[in-house]
Structure 1
């Protein structure tokens, strides 16, 4: 059994733990900006392929008391690195956290790299090269008070970069956050889903991947673990084939996105083609003032501009008031979820929310507000 840690955006730890349990993880413990769990190699591959919320899945190798640079060097050298890294493979070290003595992550990372390559030189007479962009083995060290945790990053590039979205609007929502908001809302694929301010389409696209049971990891070029010694390519191939076999052919209910800006709708359509759902999701250019409910009931989702991103002088309060009017007058029988990073603006909607969830969009504290429209 391996010990793993899934890193997630702040505030999503409990949701991520729930997702990991659904994927078959054992001993799941939410922590700060992530969740620890246990499982075998199959689970490690499966979580990378299927999890919609995490950024990276770390495999824990070792934990040791660590006050200063000497402790760090010695602790790293107690591991037999030949199991994880042969001299022909490239490496990179990413350090996070600090304590009184080790208060510079760049220095910490350098010290770890030195300890590893010194061991290689001694054992093999040669060493791994450092490759910061796409290393074969990405090592992660975390200093928390007097404890150092050493892990391997099994994901490679952050998992939120699904690979289907080269086209990004002005203020894109991370795919992982979009998936988290959808999970938080309790939306079920049997309900119609509509985003009238969809930008380059992230919310409707994540909703359709979920509704069609498409593994988000299928669009990635590679995972970090594929260049590890002992990588089981037939196991990954089998998991990919199972994932492809379990996809649904049709959406249980329509998923729509619209936006006033024609250019971003073109991007959304390109992104839908990239993830193979362009036959399922419907995107169209419609100004907010023209939006009407496409069905008697459903779930409306939107992430309106917060102020920073549409330019200072745009009349955003008026825009939020319009959004409130459209919801009130044209979406009776629907439930609406609005992500807002600006309290004053969200009051301009003029509706009373029935529930609020605190989430972070990057470093910005936001609220996902739920409105029951009758």
Structure 2
């Protein structure tokens, strides 16, 4: 997903973009971080690196962190939390490293103010992120607060929902630009059609989100932020050039999808109806089919799903001429039962599960 994210940043006009394994860096004033949080569809967090130093023990971690100017970002009346991930390092326990980091930060502030901030793991004013790899520690501030996949619209969800950021990445990887129909014939709680409608209407994914991390920082300018939000609202389209359609066999899933679409502000822009995959009836092509069928965790489920994948292949062959279909699956063995040759395979991870986005040309 890194290149997809880099392309998003480029379209926002942000400078200094460097694609790395697992992320993308960029440079600019703080307002660019605010815009990134508002507009990015495929990023999980926007982190602001503060420092990088060698770290091979709890003491070196403590000293490196204590030397930073925490009073520029935090005061005793604010709350704090520390996230930590470790890889190939002398430090082997992330909980211990987070505790040492918290001690260093609060001790630094106690020295300056005579008082220390409180720790609030669930909802802090400032979230600090430590990444320790091969005894090198990168210290960052989390401008996002919570993960950016939490758009604020998905208040009801199906059993195994697709993360909003991953759904947005799948849409980007189809090269769909909103000018032709997009269908999700197994839409569940509606994440793919909703993310497609957000994109096609020019609606920022962060528009309905109530709280970003940077909004609690001392240098936050509510007037500047409100200007960004109003500018974004002024660009949103009321109608779309092509239909976005979601269908599902489950009435309960469709009820969730309709509520989620309404909360996302796109309820009028997506068509959601009950249908079996065998009755697939898209508008005339060209168009995009994009869906994420179940891929089963247990052997009994997998046996049952083989016939479903055959039905998917039959429906695509018989009813979707002129379309390009994309099937996202975490089970390559099941995908073979579609009975069509994929013209492209893109490897992606859905959490810990290695998946494939398979592309089929339906002539």
Q: Aligned pair 1:41/2:1, yes or no?
A: no
> Which of 224, 230, 238 is equivalent to 1:249?
238
Give structure 2 stretches of 5+ with no counterpart.
none
Q: Does the 8 A contact of 1:24 with 1:43 survive in 2?
A: no
Kindly indicate whether residue 17 of structure 2 is the aligned counterpart of residue 28 of structure 1: yes
Instruction: Show the counterpart of 1:6.
Output: none
For 1:34 and 1:296, locate their aligned partners in 2 and report how far apart those are by CA, in whole Å: 36
Q: In the alignment, is residue 204 of structure 1 matched against residue 193 of structure 2? A: yes
Do the aligned partners of 1:260 and 1:286 also contact (CA within 8 Å) in 2? yes
Cα drift, residue 99 of structure 1: 4.8
The answer as to 2:322 corresponding to 1:333 is: yes
Change in Cα spacing, 1:22 to 1:311, as seen in structure 2 (3 Å) is farther
- 4+ runs of 1 displaced by more than 3 Å? none
Per the normalisation by structure 1, the TM-score is 0.94
C-alpha distance after superposition, 1:188-233 (max 9, x if no partner):
2001011111111111110000000000001111100011111111
CA distance in 2, matches of 1:42, 1:360: 31
Secondary structure of the residue aligned to 2:183 is strand
CA distance in 1, matches of 2:293, 2:152: 24
Contact 1:258–1:283 (Cα < 8 Å) also in 2: yes
CA contact 1:98–1:104 (8 Å) conserved in 2: no
- Cα distance in 1, alignment partners of residues 285 and 55 from structure 2: 61
Name the CA distance, whole Å, in 2 between partners of 1:310 and 1:44: 46
In the alignment, does 2:354 pair up with 1:371?
no
2:59 paired residue number: 70
Task: Give the paired residue count.
Answer: 363
**Change in CA separation of 1:58 and 1:206 when aligned onto 2, cut-off 3 Å:** same
Q: 1:343, CA displacement in angstroms?
A: 1.1
- 1:221 matched residue in structure 2: 210
Shift in Å at residue 313 of structure 1? 6.6
Within 5 Å, give how 1:228-267 maps onto structure 2.
228-267=217-256
1:123, 1:187 → 2: CA distance?
54
**2:129 match: secondary structure:** strand
Tell which deviates more after alignment, 62-71 or 344-353.
Answer: 62-71
Cα 1:101–1:271, aligned 2, differ >3 Å: closer, same or farther? same
Name the counterpart of 1:53.
Answer: 42
1:146 deviates by: 2.4
In structure 1, the residue matched to 2:174 is 185
Alignment of 1:127-166 (within 5 A): 127-166=116-155
